[in-house]
Structure 1
Amino acid sequence: MQKLLAAGLFMLCFAIGYSQPTFHVGDFGAIGDGHTDDSQAFLKAWKQLCEAGGTGRPTLEIPASTTFLLKPTLFRGEAGGTGRPTLEIPASTFLLKPTLFQHPILLANGMALQIAGYASVMLMVSSLKDLEQSMAEAVHFHNCNNLQITGISLVNSPKSHISINQCTGVSISRIQINSPCDSPNTDGIDISSSTNLDIQHSIIKTGDDCIAVNTGSSFINITGVACGPGHGISVGSLGEDGADDRVEEVHVRDCNFSRTQNGARIKTFRGGSGYARKISFEQITLIDSKNPIIIDQHYTNDGKRESSSAVKVSDVTYSGVQGTSAEEQAITLNCSDEIGCFNIKMKKIKISSSVPGKKTHAYCNNAHGTSTLTTPKCPLPTQT
């Protein structure tokens, strides 16, 4: 008996819009009965969509209230015309049947794609073991520039829900991601080697990071995201196995963390190199969150001794962070004894305990900068 598990919604290229030429997925042989493999029909439709010329917006229509079964599928290529190819998917359902260690949906080399609608996707696996061994993200975007994703729901991915790699100019809004708090490695959105991303007005519930910003990423704006449960919004981890990792210009604003394991987090491994800099967390609301503010330059459990090399963390601002902490230690700046963190700015911070009668405190090790109107107090000596 096959076990059906809701997984992340697929993002082909779908959008609500009126454009020409228009294709219908049924014309390419898609059955939509939830049992027949419609992968080839979608690939044929995608090929026609991308080859459509002209300056308009070629659109592929997918009927509402229909269920499509797709096996691991690569949607690849650029539009033949100058318009933005779109796929219209109103309230359809996709069943993704992954092969182990493959992406159920991989979209690569797509230019100017627009994704919108109210679709949902289910992941179909033959056993729970298949799910546990799958290393794939539900949806992976590679080298997709000027990408727009809006109004999509993703549920219970086997691993990360959305992965974005080597993309430029990505806009994500009004999406919902939902996985249990105890589901391993189910990051909401993983970002790597990408620039100019805007994520806003979304709800993310996961068993791992709601959003993780990894190496090679810059100019990432995250606004109005509700995170929880999950491990917070993280920069990193960076510097694993001595890697030279670099992240900069990450700005998180008007977000809330509800019963998360972490809130605003920066995490780097010992022995790495590179930098995490020009990062801000502003106007953040906390509800019973553990580790509301945390910089961890010792992110490893392998017992290795301290290294003279570390990813440099600098120019980090926390402003207007308020709410409650599930732990007494509400602020943790655990910076490297050899390298340290510099130009850390904390202002208008007020974090109290979610447990009546408890007080909060801060642990600030080798962190340098300024701290004003901050509770609990976190002394930050200036750099000498």
Structure 2
Amino acid sequence: MKCLFAIRLLFVVSSACLCAIITPSLAFSVNVFDYGAKGDGQTDDSQAFLQAWEEVCNCGQVTPTLVIPYGTTFMLQPLKFLGPCKAATIIVKVEGTMMAPSNMEGWKWPNDDEKKEIWVQFSEISGLVIEGGGQIDAQGTPWWKYKGDKASYRPTALHFHRCENLTVTDLTHINSPKNHISINKCNGAYVSNLHIIAPEDSPNTDGIDISESTNIFVLNSTIETGDDCIAINSGTFFINISNVYCGPGHGISVGSLGKNGAYVEVEEIHVKNCTFNGTTNGARIKTWIGGSGFARKITFEDIILINTKNPVIINQQYEDHHSINENGNGEAVAVSDVIYRNITGTSACENAINLSCDLNIGCNGIVLENIEITPYSSGDEVYASCTKANGTSSSCSPILSCLSNSSKLP
């Protein structure tokens, strides 16, 4: 099928003369049905999707659109949508449902995919827009039996790699075998109006993982999973998260960072206007013993807590009982310039504020302002604890008398 053009002629009539103004409205749309997709939820439609993608990726004179139609379910094997593409912008309209095979034995990995880590990957595509109001169902249930050290057997559902100026919006994403969305080595991404769902006890089903990326916006989304709603990993700078409803899940986490002695860099992370409901953590920073590098200029503000465990937590000595850190060398990731501001609501645990910093280097420049955390259950009490945490606090309840250089202001 060739790249087709729709030219719309707009004629403007004036009293003085007749002017013909030709305005090109260039549109090129490819429907996966055009390439043999069945959309019955059982037939493998992978090759139809790849052929349709090749068509839109090679169409360079317009803004091409790949349409995944409403009311249909497409069963897909692991796929790689590869760029670079010719057009400055490519739209993928997910109006129907993209669905993985229903059992593990039914997955057929490409011959060149030795790691077998990803179900659907978009790689090296600039100006990619994924939208449409449809659903991505990664059929993760049979994979969840692999936990702990065997978690690596489970694939990520949707992975974006080196996609500049990415937009992902208006989608429902359910039941990934592992993390639902991974953003890696991307510069400029706008992620909004997503609903990500997995059972509370599903292991490692992070909503969105961000690594080695800059200028990422995650907005106006609801994330209900069995692990971090959003995890911010090494190599990330200028990340903005706003109006995210998280719960159930493990909160919004910077980290974990520095596993097995890794050097990490994280800076300018801003989380605002978010709600944690029934999560096992709220605003969290976690770094492994033995790591190095820095995590700094991090802000959590205007946060609402509803029955949240560990509402405010820094753990600079993180250890996972499923793993053994291989480089406990006395080093630590430097955590500094962290602001917790305007955080209100209820805690499900007594230790509502826990700043557990490294015994050698501590964490520095920690600021807490206008914190009001009360117990979820009547009759309980909440308190704050600190280890080697340096900074200031004002208008905080519970009071942070443990914070070095702390000042309680009226």
Question: TM-score, normalised to structure 2's length?
Answer: 0.85
Counterpart check, 1:325 vs 2:332: no
Counterpart check, 1:93 vs 2:97: yes
Q: Say whether the 8 Å CA contact 1:267–1:297 is kept in structure 2.
A: yes
Deviation at 1:79, TM superposition (A): 2.1
Q: Say whether the 8 Å CA contact 1:308–1:339 is kept in structure 2.
A: no
CA separation in 1, counterparts of 2:295 and 2:254? Answer: 8
Task: Show the counterpart of 1:221.
Answer: 240
* Residues matched between the structures, number: 362
Task: Show the counterpart of 1:61.
Answer: 67
User: Which is further off, 176-185 or 61-70?
Assistant: 61-70
CA separation in 2, counterparts of 1:288 and 1:119? Answer: 32
The Cα offsets for residues 117-158 of structure 1, whole Å up to 9 and x where unpaired, read as 111133357x82587464211111111110001110011111
Task: Show the counterpart of 2:142.
Answer: 128
Task: Show the counterpart of 2:294.
Answer: 275
Task: Show the counterpart of 1:262.
Answer: 281
The Cα offsets for residues 223-275 of structure 1, whole Å up to 9 and x where unpaired, read as 00000000000000011110001111000000000010000000001111000
CA separation in 2, counterparts of 1:241 and 1:378? Answer: 32
Q: Between the two proteins, what is the percent identity of the paired residues?
A: 46
CA separation in 1, counterparts of 2:155 and 2:178? Answer: 6
CA separation in 1, counterparts of 2:211 and 2:272? Answer: 20
Counterpart check, 1:106 vs 2:128: no
Task: Show the counterpart of 2:404.
Answer: 381
CA separation in 2, counterparts of 1:308 and 1:201? Answer: 40
The Cα offsets for residues 20-75 of structure 1, whole Å up to 9 and x where unpaired, read as 12222111111212121111111111011011021x31112222111111100000
CA separation in 2, counterparts of 1:129 and 1:60? Answer: 30
CA separation in 2, counterparts of 1:311 and 1:326? Answer: 29
Task: Show the counterpart of 2:370.
Answer: 348
Counterpart check, 1:358 vs 2:380: yes
Change (3 A) 1:304 1:29: closer
Q: Say whether the 8 Å CA contact 1:272–1:311 is kept in structure 2.
A: yes
The correspondence for 1:39, drawn from 39, 46, 61, is: 46
Unaligned runs of at least 5 residues, structure 1 = 1-17
Task: Show the counterpart of 1:174.
Answer: 193
Change (3 A) 1:361 1:120: same
CA separation in 2, counterparts of 1:72 and 1:290? Answer: 37
Task: Show the counterpart of 1:78.
Answer: 84
Task: Show the counterpart of 2:134.
Answer: 119
Q: Say whether the 8 Å CA contact 1:330–1:361 is kept in structure 2.
A: yes
Q: Say whether the 8 Å CA contact 2:261–2:327 is kept in structure 1.
A: no
Unaligned runs of at least 5 residues, structure 2 = 1-24, 102-106, 110-115
Task: Show the counterpart of 1:198.
Answer: 217
CA separation in 2, counterparts of 1:366 and 1:304? Answer: 24
CA separation in 2, counterparts of 1:46 and 1:180? Answer: 32
CA separation in 2, counterparts of 1:260 and 1:281? Answer: 16
1:356 counterpart letter in structure 2: S
Counterpart check, 1:26 vs 2:40: no
Question: TM-score, normalised to structure 1's length?
Answer: 0.90
CA separation in 1, counterparts of 2:327 and 2:191? Answer: 41
The Cα offsets for residues 141-184 of structure 1, whole Å up to 9 and x where unpaired, read as 11111000111001111110001110110000010011111111
The Cα offsets for residues 297-318 of structure 1, whole Å up to 9 and x where unpaired, read as 1101459997531000000000
CA separation in 1, counterparts of 2:330 and 2:33? Answer: 61
Q: Say whether the 8 Å CA contact 1:342–1:368 is kept in structure 2.
A: yes
Q: Which has the higher contact order (CA 8 A, sep 6+)?
A: 1
CA separation in 2, counterparts of 1:189 and 1:88? Answer: 20
Determine helix, strand or coil for the equivalent of 1:35.
strand
Determine helix, strand or coil for the equivalent of 1:43.
helix
CA separation in 2, counterparts of 1:85 and 1:370? Answer: 48
Q: Say whether the 8 Å CA contact 2:144–2:177 is kept in structure 1.
A: no
